[in-house]
Structure 1
Amino acid sequence: MEETRKRRRKQKKKRLVLKTALFTALVGLLAVGTGAWYIVNQLNDTAASAYQGLNRGDKSELRVQPVDVGKDNFSMLILGSDFRDGDSGGERTDTMIVGTFNKGDRSIKLTSIPRDTYTEIIGYTEGPFYDKINHAHAFGGIDMAIDTVENLLDIPIDHYGLARFDGLVDIIDALDGIEVDVTYEFNFNEKSRDVDFDFTKGPTHMDGEMALAYARERKSAEGGGDKGRGIRQQQVIESIIDRTASLSSITRFNDFFDAIGNNLQMDLTFGNIVSLHGYASSIDSIETLQLQTDGHMRQDIYGNNIWYEDAVEEELLELQHTLREHLELPVENDSTLETSTSDSLD
C-alpha cells in the first residue's frame, strides 16, 4: 500500500494532454520568439478573438484582490471539449486540468481531474447536488465549472482556457502535418466524420484528421483503452511541439493563428499572455499531478446505473495541501480541511 502511494505521489515530467494543445501552442510560440513584430501582432489579434470574460468578474470569490499573472502566484483551469456542431445536450468538458503557477521559482504544476469524478456541482440547485464533474460546464458554463473545481480542490481558480478538440485538425494542417511514430497496426473508422484510416507501425506523416484519429483510438485489442489513448495523445502533442519549436517550420502563420483563435476561449488578455513569457523555460519541466479516485457503479437521479469515480479522501487532502502550498496560500490543519468526496453519501 505504501509503495502504491509513493508511486501515486511521484511527480513525473510530462507534456500537456491533447485537448490543451491550443493553449500550449500559444505559450510555446512565446517561448521561441516573441521578438518578431508580426508574431506579436498576430498574438494580439488571436488573444482578442479568444477572450471571453467570466460572469463573476475579474476575481475569484476566494481572493481579496484580482491576481496579476505577471507578479502573483495564480491558477488556471484548462478545459478540453469534444463538443461539435450538431451535438445534442450541453458541452461537457472531458479534460479538466488545473495549472498552478508560482512566481518565485517560475514553476508550473498541472493537476488532472478525472472526468467521472463524483462531486458537488456548485450552483446547479439550491441544495447540494452531486454528479460527474465534467457535467458542470454543461449545466452552467465556465463559471459553474470553476466554482465546482474551487470547491473540490479548496483553491481559487483565477483564469481559464477552453480548447475545442476539433481545432487540433486545423492547427496540424496549418503546420503542414506532423510526424508520429505509430506503435501498432490498427484501423480507425468513424462514420460521423467520414474518416477511415489504416495505421501501420513506424514513423508516419499525418495531417490533422489522421492525427486526430490516432489520438482518439482506443477500441483495438492493443489500444490499451483510455490509458493507451493518453499515451498516443502525448505523442501527438510532442510532435506538435517539435514542429512549432522552430519558427522556420511554420510557413502558414495566418492559418496557424486562425486555428488557435477559432478554437480557443479564455479570459487571458494579450498582456496576460505576454506576462507568461517568464514561464517559458518551465515548459519542459512541468510537474504533473492527478486527483486519485476509486471507481464504482452508482444510480443517478433517474435510477440508471452509472460509472463514477470517487476522490480518495486522504489523497484529496494531500493534493489540496500541495496546491495551496504552491500558490503560497494559508494551509489549514489536515483535520479541518473540507473535502468534496461522496464517501459520506454512501
Structure 2
Amino acid sequence: MSPSNSHLPPRNRGGAVKQPRLPQKKKKKKSFLKSFLKLLLIVIILSFLSVAGYLGWVAYKLDNTILDTGIDTPVAPEASAKVKPVTMLLLGTDYRPKTGTHLTDVMMVATFNPDTKSATVVSIPRDTRIDLDGYKVRKANAYYPNFLDAEKKSGITAPNEMKQMFTKYLDIPIDYVTVINFQGFSDVVDALGGVDVNISMDMCYKDKADGTDINLKKGPSELNGEDALGYVRYRHSGPGCKPRTKESDDFSRNQRQNEVLHSLIDQMQTFSGATKIGSVLDAVSDNLETDIEKAQLKNIIATYWNISKDNVKFVPVTGEWKSPYVHINDDELDKAKQALKDELAGKSVQTLDQSTNDTNP
C-alpha cells in the first residue's frame, strides 16, 4: 500500500507538536529556578566571604596595630575577660609633641563584668589631693611625670606605679593600666567622624606656646578631634579671648569626659562606626601604652565591643576646691569604691547623681 493512497487518518501534527512543547516550558521554568537559586547562592557566598574578609582584615589590624602594644604572654582560661571581671586604670596624658609634658589630666578606673555586660567607671579629678602612706602629697595628675623621672632609679615603670597607687587609694585590685595621650584621643574622634555633644556654655582659650585654640559656642554641636579635646580639657579663659568665657571646675570637666565617651560609644556601634574600626585602631596604635596581654585584649574587645551605653555607669567623685587642691568628699569616695566592688560582684549600681535624685523628696 502506497503511503500516498493510504486511507488512514492523517497524523495529528498539532498533537505531535504539542507533546514536546509542555516539557520545554517546564524545562524553561526549571532552568530559571535553577539559575535564580545559583545566583542567590553566589550572593550569599560572596556576602559571607565579604564579611569573613572584613573580619579577617579587622583581626589583621588588631594583630598589627593595637595588639602590638600588648604583652605577649598567655592568659589562663579562668583569667579571660570573657569569664572574669577585670579592672583597668585609664590614664589620658596631656603629652603632645609641642609640649612634651605628661600630666594625667584624665584618670578613670573602670571595672567590666562579663556576666552583666556592664561597666562602672569612676573619674578622679585631676587636682585631687592624694595623701597616702609611702607617697609624697601631690595633685593626682602630677604623679605620672614624677614616676617617669624615677623609672631608672626605682626599676618600676610609671604606669605600674600608678596602678599600685590607685589600687591602694581605691582599695580595689586593679588588673591593668592603659595610657593614651591627647593626640590619640583626638585622632580616634576624627576616625569616627566626630562626636555629638551639647555644649553648656561658651568656651574660649588660646595658648600660642602649644597651639591650643579652644573656641566653642553654647548649644548642640558635632565636634572634630581637636575641638573635642578642647571641650574635655577646658578650664578657664585667657587674654586672647574677647569676651572672656566662664571658668570650668574639675567636676564639670569629668562630666564632659563622660559625655564624650557616651557619644563615642554611640558612634562605634553604628554601621558607619563599625566600618571605621580600622582607622580607629590606627589612631590608637601610635598613642597607646598598656600592660594588657594581647590575648586578653582580644577577649575584652570580643566581650565588650557591643556594650550598651546604658550599661556603662559613670560615678562622679566631687569635693571642695581649696587652692591648689581638690579635697575629695570622703562619703563620695567611699560610695565610688563600693560601686567598683559591686560591679566586680555583678550587682547593679546606680550612679551617685541618680541615687541622690532617688533620695530627694
Fold match, TM over 0.5?
yes
Who is 2:180 aligned against? 163
**Residues 1:83 and 2:107 are matched in the alignment:** no
Cα drift, residue 46 of structure 1: 2.3
Q: Hey, what's the Cα distance between the residues in 2 that align with 1:255 and 1:269?
A: 22
Who is 1:107 aligned against? 118
Pick one of 53, 57, 60 that aligns with 1:38.
Answer: 57
**Residues 1:142 and 2:159 are matched in the alignment:** yes
The amino acid across from 1:281 in the alignment is I
Who is 1:29 aligned against? none
Q: Which stretches of structure 1, 4 residues or more, deviate above 6 A after TM superposition?
A: none
Are the structure 2 counterparts of residues 180 and 262 from structure 1 closer, same or farther at C-alpha, using a change threshold of 3 Å? Answer: same
Whether contact under 8 Å (1:136, 1:148) holds in the other structure is no
Whether contact under 8 Å (1:175, 1:250) holds in the other structure is no
The amino acid across from 2:190 in the alignment is D
The number of residues matched between the two structures is 275
Who is 1:93 aligned against? 104
Cα drift, residue 94 of structure 1: 1.8
TM-score, normalised by the number of residues in structure 1: 0.65
Are the structure 2 counterparts of residues 128 and 34 from structure 1 closer, same or farther at C-alpha, using a change threshold of 3 Å? Answer: farther
Q: Hey, what's the Cα distance between the residues in 2 that align with 1:153 and 1:198?
A: 36
Q: Hey, what's the Cα distance between the residues in 2 that align with 1:77 and 1:167?
A: 17
**Residues 1:287 and 2:299 are matched in the alignment:** no
Who is 1:209 aligned against? 226
Whether contact under 8 Å (1:223, 1:229) holds in the other structure is no
**Larger proportion of helix:** 2
Q: Hey, what's the Cα distance between the residues in 2 that align with 1:325 and 1:34?
A: 40
Are the structure 2 counterparts of residues 172 and 102 from structure 1 closer, same or farther at C-alpha, using a change threshold of 3 Å? Answer: closer
The amino acid across from 2:84 in the alignment is D
Whether contact under 8 Å (1:155, 1:320) holds in the other structure is yes
Cα drift, residue 249 of structure 1: 5.1
Identity across matched positions, percent: 27
Q: Hey, what's the Cα distance between the residues in 1 that align with 2:92 and 2:177?
A: 11
Pick one of 303, 312, 327 that aligns with 1:278.
Answer: 303
Gaps of 5+ in 1: 1-32, 60-65, 298-306, 330-346
Larger displacement relative to structure 2 (112-121 or 192-201): 192-201
**Residues 1:130 and 2:142 are matched in the alignment:** no
The amino acid across from 2:93 in the alignment is S
Cα drift, residue 234 of structure 1: 4.6
Cα drift, residue 42 of structure 1: 1.1
The amino acid across from 1:77 in the alignment is L
Q: Hey, what's the Cα distance between the residues in 2 that align with 1:168 and 1:234?
A: 13
Q: Hey, what's the Cα distance between the residues in 2 that align with 1:245 and 1:269?
A: 25
SS of 1:192's equivalent in the other structure is: coil
Who is 2:292 aligned against? 268
Q: Hey, what's the Cα distance between the residues in 1 that align with 2:199 and 2:335?
A: 37
Q: Hey, what's the Cα distance between the residues in 2 that align with 1:313 and 1:239?
A: 30
Larger displacement relative to structure 2 (271-280 or 144-153): 271-280
Cα drift, residue 153 of structure 1: 1.3
Who is 1:246 aligned against? 270
Are the structure 2 counterparts of residues 67 and 242 from structure 1 closer, same or farther at C-alpha, using a change threshold of 3 Å? Answer: closer
TM-score, normalised by the number of residues in structure 2: 0.62
Whether contact under 8 Å (2:69, 2:290) holds in the other structure is yes
SS of 1:71's equivalent in the other structure is: coil
Q: Hey, what's the Cα distance between the residues in 1 that align with 2:278 and 2:338?
A: 43
- Measured against aligned partners, the alpha-carbon deviations of 1:218-260 in whole angstroms (never above 9, x if no partner) come to 4343464444444544554444444333343577665432111
Larger displacement relative to structure 2 (104-113 or 209-218): 209-218
Whether contact under 8 Å (1:98, 1:112) holds in the other structure is yes
The amino acid across from 1:266 in the alignment is T
Q: Hey, what's the Cα distance between the residues in 1 that align with 2:278 and 2:96?
A: 23
Pick 1 or 2: higher relative contact order, CA cutoff 8 A, min separation 6: 1
Structure of larger gyration radius:
2
SS of 1:129's equivalent in the other structure is: coil
Whether contact under 8 Å (1:75, 1:100) holds in the other structure is yes
Who is 2:207 aligned against? 190
- Measured against aligned partners, the alpha-carbon deviations of 1:260-297 in whole angstroms (never above 9, x if no partner) come to 11112212234223322333334432122234434434
- Measured against aligned partners, the alpha-carbon deviations of 1:84-124 in whole angstroms (never above 9, x if no partner) come to 235366x22122111122343333111122222223467xx
SS of 1:288's equivalent in the other structure is: strand
- Measured against aligned partners, the alpha-carbon deviations of 1:59-106 in whole angstroms (never above 9, x if no partner) come to 9xxxxxx943222222111111112235366x2212211112234333
Q: Hey, what's the Cα distance between the residues in 1 that align with 2:99 and 2:175?
A: 30
The amino acid across from 2:144 in the alignment is H
Q: CA RMSD in A?
A: 3.7
